[in-house]
Amino acid sequence: MSHDGEILQGQKDLTKKRQTLTGFQAHPVRSRRPLADPARFYRNHVIMQDDPQTLDRKTLLLTFLYKFARHEYVGISAAWNTTERMTESTSMIAKIGLYHLCEEFSHMRLFQEIFRTFHLDKVEWVPLGKWMSRMYRLFPLFPEAVLAPPAFVSELMGLTVYQHLDGVLDDILDDEPEARERVRTLLREVMTDELAHVGQRRNFLGPLGLRVAQVMVASMYRAFFRDIPETKLLFNVDHMVQGGKAFDYSTIAPEMIEKSWVPSYCKA
């Protein structure tokens, strides 16, 4: 648990994550061409108000990222509120969970840095609706045996999304090479952690939990992306589902494997 330094519990942060973010902020990269109409991002980033097919692909990319990250923010906030604080008697599993939550909160700060790269400096995480917020609050209260498979699929879905985002950057940001590489660097910071979270969740699933998770992949992916209309305009959802079902560490860049944590039995 020394990968990202010590936990800063009061700030929901980690010492090395804070240093990394400070480094990005000390050397900011900003797109040379601001969005054609930034107001369209702010009008559509929480709930799509316009016909999504009328949005340019850069704006679609950013509104998609916001909607996806917003769900993650609400989920980790709910989990944080039910997680015991760190003490000498805290179990190792609970410590890992708290550590991972701090990593997830650091991702929210990296996402905001992505938005700032495109001169979007007023992005805040807005709560979800009453029903969805209640679901996220109840989710961490389920027994671990029930929680583990959907939690694993949720982590896997995050990794799938970031892989597909990485895959479209060259096309969508072809006229913004500096901004593109900064976004890719920020995303890969997040992906490195998500890879470790997938590995950790996989490690404790067991054969039955793994079979349940495999069955859940398609339905969870499709239900989630159905509520984000940008998805089908940016990605092939069938390919995302197939990628989740067939996930293998061999699809991950070696340099990311080096920086992350992968179960020893999943390495060649």
For the chain, what are the domain ranges? 7-266
Dist CA 92 CA 96 (whole Å): 6
Q: Looking at residues 103-119, what average pLDDT do you find?
A: 96
Q: Looking at residues 111-132, what average pLDDT do you find?
A: 90
pLDDT 10s digits, 78-95:
888 877 676 655 667 777
Helices (H), the chain: 15-26, 38-44, 57-81, 92-117, 130-138, 144-172, 177-203, 206-226, 231-234, 237-245, 254-259
Output the pTM of the full model. 0.90
